[in-house]
Amino acid sequence: MNTVLGKERTIGGLPVAVVWGYVATLLFMVGDGLEHAWLSPYLIEQGLTVQQSATLFTAYGAVLAIASYFSGVLTEAWGPRRVMIAGMIAWLVGQILFIEFGLKDLNYAVMLPTYAIRGLGYPLFCYSFLVWVTYRSPERILATAVGLFWAAWSGGLYVVGSYFPAFMIPKIGYIGLMWSAIIWVLIGGIVGIFVVKDTKMGKSSANSAKDKFKSLLSGLTICIEKPKVAIGGIVRIINSTGIGAFPIFFPLYLSSEYGYTTEEWLQIWGTMWVANIAFNLVIPYISDRWLGWRNTIMWIGSVGCGVMTLVMLYTPQVFGYNFWAMMLVGIFFGIVLTGYVPLTALVSSMAPDKKGSAMAVVNLGAGLAYFIAPAIVGAFIGSIGVHGVMWIFALLYFVSAILMIFMKLPNEEKQDENVAEKQSGERRELAEIK
């Protein structure tokens, strides 16, 4: 329902501009994700080696991680609109050069740097918008607002970004599909830039070069000033590392050991993300209204993902080849994964005057997962096998649950102190009576 608070129109308590920003995020991420599911096999079929393809995506991931970090602090220093414009331009430049001078001729020397440049795009565009969301959204629905962002992000990258290529590749081919991505990004970029205003984002916003340099470093210094922000960054790494590693090795395991086809795995994986997007709207609402951010991350996100990692491992051992059993596992995995959504709201609330800096740490954690996930698989798959690697990821999820014990908001700590004082007083009174 549309309402008006003061002079600002809202939808469900969120400013209309924020809602349009979700639309922009979805459209941008469709364009960014059109090639993710097929580019590597395509390049290998065209003559590149597996190592060359892996290096291409590693370079992309390296730039993506750097851009993820700077998205938050640059937003505070320069304002969200400028950072979003920079992200859109970087993506468009990288995409056009990658297609025209790299992909068409399979010129690897050109593909490597141009695809890496493209990695600047969505973190600068989408994550700077996310910082803006944390400032513009009322705290009572902040986790819901963040959940809607991730629903739009995932819907563009994993859902539309998967189904659209499946429909269009037979009609326009791989190169044509890559060109069509530009249209998606342009439309999403223009919508986002139009609705987001360059408002002051926090005390760290400044005009001098010295203050802007300090702002760039604030994402690192805030980890010293507020250790809980650093803990949140570690939890964010764990959040994406486990789920991000599964496509590297688990489909091969299901195929070789139990006879699952690639198409069946893609259906399981895609349905998991559909469930994730649907519950991105439900779990954060429950978190805001009843369960609380920290408990949601600890029990639904961390413990839930740890348990579901092991369920995913042992389901085929118990049931053998059973497509629907694995589909059900995927659905539940997608649901519990949404338990991590309130992490953004929680960490940003740890530094209310430096939300951009805190978000830089969270975004860096998301980017670093692109390195850590394949590193764990590469380091341990040969020695301890699939079972051992899955247990590593399950244990990491359980570790994130333990870390959440220390992530209490100031009001929660004050409540604990009041309870402790009350219990201490009761004990003293009891001792006096005795």
pLDDT digits 0-9 by tens, 201-225:
554 444 554 555 565 666 677 878 8
Residue 429 lies inside a defined structural domain of this protein: no
* Residue 50 reports pLDDT greater than 70: no
d(CA 248, CA 225): 37
Predicted local distance difference test score (pLDDT) of residue 203: 47
On average, the pLDDT of the chain sits at: 82
231 and 188: one domain? no
Residue 79 lies inside a defined structural domain of this protein: yes
Stretch among 139-143, 226-230, 388-392, 402-406 having the lowest mean pLDDT: 139-143
95 and 187: one domain? yes
Q: What is the mean pLDDT of residues 107-117?
A: 95
Predicted local distance difference test score (pLDDT) of residue 196: 86
73 and 104: one domain? yes
Residue 425 lies inside a defined structural domain of this protein: no
Residue 171 lies inside a defined structural domain of this protein: yes
Residue 377 lies inside a defined structural domain of this protein: yes
Predicted local distance difference test score (pLDDT) of residue 366: 81
CA quadruple 352, 353, 356, 360: dihedral sign: negative
242 and 380: one domain? yes
Q: Half-sphere exposure (CA, 13 Å, Cβ side) for 413?
A: 8
Among 137, 161, 195, the domain boundary falls at 195
Predicted local distance difference test score (pLDDT) of residue 426: 59
Name the burial class of residue 434, with classes exposed (0-12), middle (13-18) and buried (19+) by CB atoms within 10 angstroms of its CB: exposed
Predicted local distance difference test score (pLDDT) of residue 5: 42
Q: What is the mean pLDDT of residues 381-398?
A: 92
241 and 364: one domain? yes
* pLDDT interval class at 2 (50, 70, 90): very low
171 and 242: one domain? no
Residue 151 lies inside a defined structural domain of this protein: yes
* Residue 185 reports pLDDT greater than 50: yes
Which is higher by pLDDT, 317 or 62? 317
263 and 169: one domain? no
CATH number at residue 274: 1.20.1250.20
For residue 397, what are the contacts with CB-CB under 8 A and spacing of at least 6?
238, 242, 302, 303, 305, 306, 309
Residue 43 lies inside a defined structural domain of this protein: yes
* pLDDT interval class at 120 (50, 70, 90): very high
228 and 96: one domain? no
Q: What is the mean pLDDT of residues 419-428?
A: 58
Number of domains in the chain: 2
Q: What is the mean pLDDT of residues 344-360?
A: 78
Token pair in block for residue 148? 């809607």
Predicted local distance difference test score (pLDDT) of residue 218: 65
* Residue 96 reports pLDDT greater than 70: yes
* Residue 51 reports pLDDT greater than 90: no
Residue 9 lies inside a defined structural domain of this protein: no
361 and 286: one domain? yes
276 and 177: one domain? no
Q: What is the mean pLDDT of residues 325-338?
A: 94
162 and 250: one domain? no
Domain that holds residue 146: 16-195
Q: What is the mean pLDDT of residues 118-132?
A: 90
239 and 353: one domain? yes
